């Protein structure tokens, strides 16, 4: 507007605006009176906006203008500030996810492990159907991944939008939601079998029977939480299991719930699973609610960095599998705390901002990748810092990893190598292949070293080919064999669990942790898709980078 012009006749100008606006409406006086209040209000707003255009003019001459006709101030009050806090918890197992229930019965069956299930659905599509929206792409992109038809050569991480050309379903967790036929195919093609799946089913049941009513698993006192049947209706049961670990309910609860999530079992009901044999939705719901209740509301912390990393993986996986908005804030806050707790040199240790060790760093990197796969925000500098840390403790002779600083032990090497795979190293990168061949291959699978075996199994699963063909059968069969069958009548309740006694870390994580890592290792066939998905066992030349 032009002040110079307005200043000549400020009063006239303002009155003219008011009258011009009201005159056409007021031409029929009776009609004006009948107009609904909101139309009058709308007209007033137009007038008021007009007034604003001349407000600088009006200041000097306000005394001359009759102020009585337009009492606009009352409608000028700003709207009350909205409370944007999301109080909708959403985590309610009675509310299904946003499945298209009209179609789900035919194609989309996010199912639990049902070892005796009839194979397949007639006319089921080849690929895993999925009604849960794919998460946004890695690296902060907004586009959900779409199933690619041909494998590309892009790095799967750090690219905006989508899967970066991996021949796989959208979202890193999609495999778990595969229908019965697809899941069975994945188990068989991946190297699992009937006995391994039956062992998973037994192990999940053992875990569910030792969950406390408030949703937690105790690594130490889990026997006092034993129930005669799992879920809310279970009654206290005098159990004869052994294998108490150290007290850590957050780690225990994360250990307890992760094998369910690995099998695609969430707190949401499985709508299409008509002949479901086991319903663990309340089990998972209880665990997630416990973790969320224990989370520090201000900074997102769930405790020390060990248990924080484990619990963050659980929250991120649960969110990634369900897109439940009630989980999102907790999962993102947990990720944010990892971002905050990173040491300047890129690693993590027991407490926030301590100089890193490879063991804790491994859990945090896995949690960050789970967060990314779930579509949560993970800053690139944090990921870059993790790579910097790994560089600092990688041996340049055998490409293994030390606990703190340069070195190479089988376990730390397995942790470091899995981190490298998730942070973008190609399967043909010499440092990766050498690291695997010189540190993992010489250390065979061992059920009494599940910390190593859990990581090494994933490393080999991603490597695929000969590595996986040699690693998987002995690992799988040894775990199936080592599972407690309940044959000892004095310890019959241990059926389905794994004994921590002979494991070096068993004293710390107890029977709950031993069972959890054994299950997760047997669930590798569908828990994570191989990062380097091969067709016909060959890696495309483009993968070499």
Q: Which residue has the tokens 């070293």?
A: 449
Q: Which of residues 480-499 bind Zn ion (CB under 5 A)?
A: 493
Tell me how far apart the alpha carbons of residues 432 and 81 are, in angstroms, rounded to a whole number: 54
Which residue from 485, 479, 490 is spatially nearest to 514, judged by alpha carbons? 479
Nearer to Zn ion, 239 or 394 (CB): 239
Shortest spacing between CB 419 and Zn ion, in angstroms: 35
Token readout for 188 is 């068989």
State yes or no: residue 479 binds Zn ion (CB under 5 A).
no
- 3 state SS of 144: strand
Shortest spacing between CB 210 and Zn ion, in angstroms: 6
Residues 189, 191, 192: CA angle, nearest 5 degrees: 105
**Closest-CB residue for Zn ion?**
239
Nearer to Zn ion, 61 or 224 (CB): 224
Contact range with Zn ion by CB under 5 A, out of 225-233, 327-335, 420-428, 504-512 = 225-233
Length of the chain: 545
State yes or no: residue 239 binds Zn ion (CB under 5 A).
yes
Binding residue (CB under 5 A) for Zn ion from 104, 124, 208, 241:
241
Nearer to Zn ion, 225 or 528 (CB): 225
Shortest spacing between CB 507 and Zn ion, in angstroms: 18
Distance of CA 183 to CAs 128, 323, 523, 529, Å?
8, 21, 11, 12
Nearer to Zn ion, 239 or 386 (CB): 239
Nearer to Zn ion, 33 or 490 (CB): 490
Tell me how far apart the alpha carbons of residues 195 and 63 are, in angstroms, rounded to a whole number: 92
Total residues in contact with Zn ion, by rule CB under 5 A: 4
State yes or no: residue 202 binds Zn ion (CB under 5 A).
no
**Per-position x/- string for 437-476, each x denoting binding to Zn ion as judged by CB under 5 A, each - no binding:** ----------------------------------------
Tell me how far apart the alpha carbons of residues 538 and 47 are, in angstroms, rounded to a whole number: 73
Shortest spacing between CB 390 and Zn ion, in angstroms: 40
State yes or no: residue 163 binds Zn ion (CB under 5 A).
no
Contact range with Zn ion by CB under 5 A, out of 35-43, 91-99, 158-166, 231-239 = 231-239
Contact range with Zn ion by CB under 5 A, out of 130-138, 221-229, 461-469, 529-537 = 221-229
Which residue from 470, 467, 477 is spatially nearest to 518, judged by alpha carbons? 477
Q: What is the dihedral of CA 30, 34, 39, 41, to 10 degrees?
A: 90
Name 5's Cβ contacts closer than 8 Å, sequence gap at least 6: none
State yes or no: residue 226 binds Zn ion (CB under 5 A).
yes
Contact range with Zn ion by CB under 5 A, out of 219-227, 314-322, 413-421, 459-467 = 219-227
Token readout for 49 is 């906006």
Name 74's Cβ contacts closer than 8 Å, sequence gap at least 6: none
Tell me which residues touch Zn ion (CB under 5 A). 226, 239, 241, 493
């Amino acid at each position: 507007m032009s002040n110079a012009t307005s200043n000549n006749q400020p009063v006239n100008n303002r009155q003219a605006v008011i009258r011009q606006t009201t005159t056409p409406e007021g031409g029929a006086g009776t009609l004006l009176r009948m107009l609904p209040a909101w139309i009058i209000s709308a007209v007033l707003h137009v007038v008021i906006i007009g007034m604003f255009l001349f407000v600088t003019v009006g200041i000097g001459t306000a005394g001359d203008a009759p102020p009585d006709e337009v009492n606009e101030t009352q409608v000028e009050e700003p709207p009350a500030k909205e409370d944007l806090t999301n109080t909708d918890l959403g985590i309610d197992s009675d509310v299904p996810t946003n499945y298209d229930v009209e179609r789900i019965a035919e194609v989309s069956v996010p199912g639990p492990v049902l070892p005796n299930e009839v194979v397949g659905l007639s006319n089921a599509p080849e690929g895993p159907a999925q009604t849960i929206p794919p998460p946004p792409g890695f690296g902060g992109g907004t586009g959900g991944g779409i199933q690619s038809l041909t494998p590309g050569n892009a790095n799967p991480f750090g690219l905006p939008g989508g899967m970066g050309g991996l021949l796989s379903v959208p979202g890193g967790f999609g495999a778990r939601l595969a229908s019965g036929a697809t899941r069975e195919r994945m188990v068989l093609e991946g190297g699992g079998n009937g006995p391994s799946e039956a062992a998973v089913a037994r192990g999940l049941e053992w875990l569910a029977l030792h969950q406390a009513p408030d949703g937690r698993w105790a690594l130490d006192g889990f026997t006092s939480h034993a129930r005669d049947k799992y879920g809310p209706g279970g009654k206290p049961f005098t159990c004869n299991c052994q294998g108490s670990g150290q007290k850590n309910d957050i780690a225990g609860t994360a250990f307890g719930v992760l094998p369910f999530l690995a099998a695609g079992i969430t707190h949401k009901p499985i709508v299409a699973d008509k002949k479901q044999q086991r319903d663990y939705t309340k089990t998972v719901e209880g665990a997630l609610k416990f973790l969320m209740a224990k989370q520090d509301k201000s900074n997102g912390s769930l405790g020390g960095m060990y248990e924080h990393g484990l619990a963050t993986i659980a929250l991120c996986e649960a969110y990634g599998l369900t897109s439940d908005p009630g989980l999102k804030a907790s999962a993102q806050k947990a990720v944010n705390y990892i971002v905050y707790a990173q040491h300047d040199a890129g690693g993590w240790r027991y407490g926030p901002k301590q100089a890193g060790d490879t063991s804790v760093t491994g859990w945090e990197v896995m949690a960050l990748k789970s967060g990314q796969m779930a579509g949560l925000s993970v800053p690139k500098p944090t990921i870059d810092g993790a790579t910097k840390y790994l560089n600092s403790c990688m041996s340049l002779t055998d490409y293994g990893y030390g606990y703190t600083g340069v070195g190479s032990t089988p376990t730390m090497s397995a942790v470091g190598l899995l981190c490298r795979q998730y942070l973008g190293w190609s399967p043909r990168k010499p440092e990766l292949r050498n690291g695997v061949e010189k540190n993992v291959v010489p250390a065979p699978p061992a059920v009494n070293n599940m910390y190593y075996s859990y990581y090494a199994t994933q490393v080999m699963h991603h490597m695929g080919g000969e590595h996986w063909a040699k690693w998987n059968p002995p690992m799988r069969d040894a775990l199936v064999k080592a599972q407690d069958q309940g044959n000892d009548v004095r310890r019959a309740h241990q059926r389905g669990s794994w004994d921590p006694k002979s494991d070096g870390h068993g004293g710390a994580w107890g029977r709950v942790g031993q069972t959890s890592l054994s299950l997760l290792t047997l669930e590798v066939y569908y828990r994570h898709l191989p990062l380097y998905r091969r067709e016909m066992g060959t890696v495309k030349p483009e993968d070499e980078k």
